[in-house]
Every structure is written in structure tokens, then in C-alpha cells.
Amino acid sequence: MSRSEETYRKAIKILAKNSYIVTIQGKTYRRSIPSLDFYRHQWFWDSCTHMLALNQIHPTWAYDDAYSLLAGQWKNGLIGHITFNPDEENYFPGPQFWGTEKESQHGVISTGIIQPPLLAMSVGYLYAHAKDRKRVEKFIEDALPGVVKYHQYLKTYRDPEDCGLISIVHPWESGEDNSPLWDEVLATIKMEDIPAEVIETVKTSRKDLELGSSQDRPQVIDYNRYIYLVDLYKKLDWDYTKIIQETPFAVKEVHTNSIWARANEELGNLLTALGREEEGKLYLSWATQTRKAIQDLWDPETQLYTALSVGKGREMTIREDTLAQFMPFYANAVREDVLPVLLKKLTDPQQYWSVYPIPSVPITSPKYEVARYWRGPMWPITNYFLIDGLNYYKDRAECKKIQEELLTKTLSTIEQFSFHEHYDPLTGIADSYFKDRSGMGFQSFTWSAAIYIYLVNNYKINFAEPVL
């Protein structure tokens, strides 16, 4: 058996194993979770990616993930970044900390913040790639109203200015929790702003340091700020009209908004495919609006996409070079004159084209840290965005070549080092830094397994023997 086939089989096993059974309104669903070691709840953007692979293995499991997310959707349309498993207690901040019980539907408790809005992509993918048309049509009938409601929530509450860019109100909403993109705004939250009980709670309750290595994890000061924001929103009663007005942390940036643009495109296309063309037009127009707004974030002077801090008293422009710079590929929003600049940066071995690309910040940046969350390591999810995004540009030879190389490198990194949460961009694993550890982040990680399966299938990689 080749290494690829062996990896594929292992990926299937991980996806099958990393799950949880829940009962919602008398019905049983299978929920996928990122890892058995630590992340034992359902994470929104992980799950949306898991669905792409689960569809290959067992479509019912993919649909169950979507049903489970949608079951916890709030009345206002929000879907939390974590949907909590009722029997799981060992996680901080867990359900009791968020104060979201009164928003919960059908007994499903979630957090009160979002993650990048990938759901329309996944639902559209499931629709397009179903073998059993009858079953998928039933699934779409069930799921689509929730997806539409979710997009309405994002537009209404996160882009009240109607500028095309949604605001995130917590670093965790980006999914790139600890990225340097948030440093400047977070720094405006001073220790003296943070209530003593929040600091005490963080001190006594943080669980990630017990299981993971503290070298990977966010620092204490940042963690205090993360929890401070949650505490503030809880005190504002999770009323998003108020939260948007009051929060010190509201950022309009290119990573989440590229996904937002693409999600609207997918939703518009799905509605059109279902014969609901008029409705579809609305979302396609939102996609166009967001693409244009992303292009306007480009700053010719620094040659960077900027981010806008729009939090109360925190208006500023952020100029930070992270891999979010490449996300406009995923949204098909890269302007002609910007394309060569991005390609040069991407393929520069001193910046992003490391041995195991793509690092979350350039390897020579003063902010680069080999193992700390989103400040160095490579995550397969972000490689996937770029590989898929380059499809829009592949009539250009250089884009096609980069796409092929990145695809090969992503698959072979996983084949070589197995399914870690993230990877050292220079050596693949960080064993030269942590002699006692075999890899980075948590292992047998569902996301990495899902992306492996998706890439193999979607890019028609042929193994010598069929594995399914």
C-alpha cells in the first residue's frame, strides 16, 4: 500500500472516530468534533469542513453535522462558534460561562460568537456532490432556511453600515484566534479595564494549558482579554445591536470577509440552481459588494490589505502581514495589479514559501513564532482556501503551478507527519523545539483528516488501488 493510500485510510478512521452522539428533540444525531483529546464539542468552521469529507464516507454524517449546528441556531439567526456537547465538562470557557442559555433552542447550548461563515459552502457542496438526489433534496429543504437566516443575521447585525464588510467582535470569530492581526486592537484593552473576577476566572479555569504545550497556546494577557470580551457581551445580554455599538473590539478584515463574499456567491448560486433566481440575486449582489470592499482595503503604499478597527473609540487602520493577505483569492477578489504582488510574496522562501508552506505569518517576520497559535504554524485549512481560490486564476500558468505545488506539498506534509492540528513550516514537526513531543498541537485531528480526504477527491488524485 502506498503512503497516500495508508494516509487516506487513517483519515477515514479519524473522521469516523472523532464524533459524539446527541439527541435533539427526540432524534439522534452524530456530531463531529475536532479531537478526542481536547476539543470535544462541535466547532463551527471545523464542522463545515468535516462535512466535505464526511460526504465521501457517509453522507448522513455530513447532514447530521449541519442539522446539529442548525438546531442550536438562535432566534436572531446566529450560529455559535462552539455547539456544546451536553456531557462534556472539561473545557473552558464552557457552557456555564457564556450565559447563553436563554438564547438556546431545543436545549442546544452554544457560544454567542461566530466563526468564519463557511456553512453555505458546505451545504452547496453537499447539494452538488450527492449521489442520492432525493435524500439531498430533503436535506436542502430542511437546512436552507437556517442558512438564509444565518446570512441575514450577518448582514443585519455585523454590517449595519451596509459597507459590504462584516465586523468580527472577538479574535476567536476569525478562527485565527491568536493572529498578530488582533494585537493592536487588543492592546487597547488594558489590564485595569478587566474586572478582577475575570482575571481570577482565567487563572483558575483555563484548561488548554493542562493538555497542550504552553508554547503553542495564547499568552495569559491575551487570554484575559478574550474572556473580558465574552464577559462584556454577556453583560450586554447578548444583544448584538448593543454589542456592535459598545465593543472595543470590532474589526473588518480580509480573512472573514473573503469567506463571507464566497459564501454569498455559493448561497446565490444554490438558490438559483433550485429555481429561486430572484432570491439568489440578493446574495450574489452582496458577494459583489463585499468583493469590491475587499479590493478597497488594498493599500498601495504598504502593498498590504488593511483591516479596519471600528470598535468604540478604537477607530484605526491595521497593517499587518499575515496569511490573511491571500484570502482574496478564495473570494475571487484579487485585482489585476495586485496579483503579481501577492504571488511574489507567496512564493518568496523568506516569507511564505517555506519548506512546508504556508506559515501563518512570514517566517522572517519579528512576529513569527514557530509553535504559537496562528503566529507561525501552517494549518491545512488555510492551504485549502488558497488551493481552491487559485481555481479562479488558473488560466495563468504561474497560478496553476503554485496551485499544483501547494496541493502536493499539503498532501505530502500530512502523509509524512500524520494528522496534527498544525505543522512547523520549516521542519514539518516541531520536534527540534520540543524533544519530548512527536508533533504540534493536538493529534489525530479531524480537520487535517477532512482536508486530506477533500483534496484527494476534489483534485482527483489517483491512488494505485481504490481505497473506498
Judged by CB, which is closer to ligand GLC: 95, or 175?
175
**Cell, residue 50:** 468535516
Judged by CB, which is closer to ligand GLC: 14, or 130?
14
Give me the amino acid identity at 32.
S
Residue 405 CB neighbours (<10 A)? 14
**Cell, residue 198:** 475575570
CB 355 within 8 Å of CB 427: yes
Q: Determine the residue with CB nearest ligand GLC.
A: 175
Question: Which 3 state secondary structure label does DSSP give 414?
Answer: helix
Minimum separation from the CB atom of position 156 to ligand GLC (A): 24
Minimum separation from the CB atom of position 178 to ligand GLC (A): 7
Minimum separation from the CB atom of position 466 to ligand GLC (A): 30
232 vs 350: CA distance, rounded Å: 41
Give me the amino acid identity at 198.
V
**Cell, residue 164:** 459590504
Minimum separation from the CB atom of position 394 to ligand GLC (A): 27
393 vs 403: CA distance, rounded Å: 10
Is there a cis peptide before residue 358, judged by omega within 30 degrees of 0? yes
155 vs 268: CA distance, rounded Å: 14
Judged by CB, which is closer to ligand GLC: 34, or 280?
34
350 vs 105: CA distance, rounded Å: 49
Minimum separation from the CB atom of position 46 to ligand GLC (A): 5
319 vs 429: CA distance, rounded Å: 30
Alpha-carbon torsion (411, 416, 420, 424), positive or negative: negative
Judged by CB, which is closer to ligand GLC: 206, or 335?
206
Give me the amino acid identity at 403.
Q
CB 354 within 8 Å of CB 377: no
Judged by CB, which is closer to ligand GLC: 231, or 421?
421
**Chain centroid to CA 188:** 25
**Cell, residue 128:** 452538488
Judged by CB, which is closer to ligand GLC: 212, or 389?
212
Minimum separation from the CB atom of position 465 to ligand GLC (A): 31
Judged by CB, which is closer to ligand GLC: 97, or 459?
97
Minimum separation from the CB atom of position 287 to ligand GLC (A): 23
Q: Cell 470592499 maps to which residue?
A: 293
Judged by CB, which is closer to ligand GLC: 171, or 428?
171
The residues binding ligand GLC (CB under 6 A) are 34, 39, 43, 45-46, 175, 177, 373, 447
Minimum separation from the CB atom of position 269 to ligand GLC (A): 26
54 vs 392: CA distance, rounded Å: 25
Q: How far is CA 311 from CA 107, 116, 177, 270, in A?
A: 33, 19, 18, 34
208 vs 137: CA distance, rounded Å: 41
How do beta strands 19-24 and 27-32 pair?
antiparallel
Minimum separation from the CB atom of position 237 to ligand GLC (A): 25
Minimum separation from the CB atom of position 214 to ligand GLC (A): 15
Judged by CB, which is closer to ligand GLC: 393, or 452?
452
399 vs 365: CA distance, rounded Å: 25
Minimum separation from the CB atom of position 273 to ligand GLC (A): 29
Minimum separation from the CB atom of position 93 to ligand GLC (A): 12
CB contact burial 440-454 (16+ within 10 A = b; e otherwise): bbbbbbbbbbbbbbb
Q: Which of 339, 381, 342, 344 is nearest to 360 (CA)?
A: 381
Secondary structure element (H or E) that encloses residue 24, with its range: strand 19-24
Judged by CB, which is closer to ligand GLC: 45, or 286?
45
Instruction: Please provide the size of the chain in residues.
Output: 468
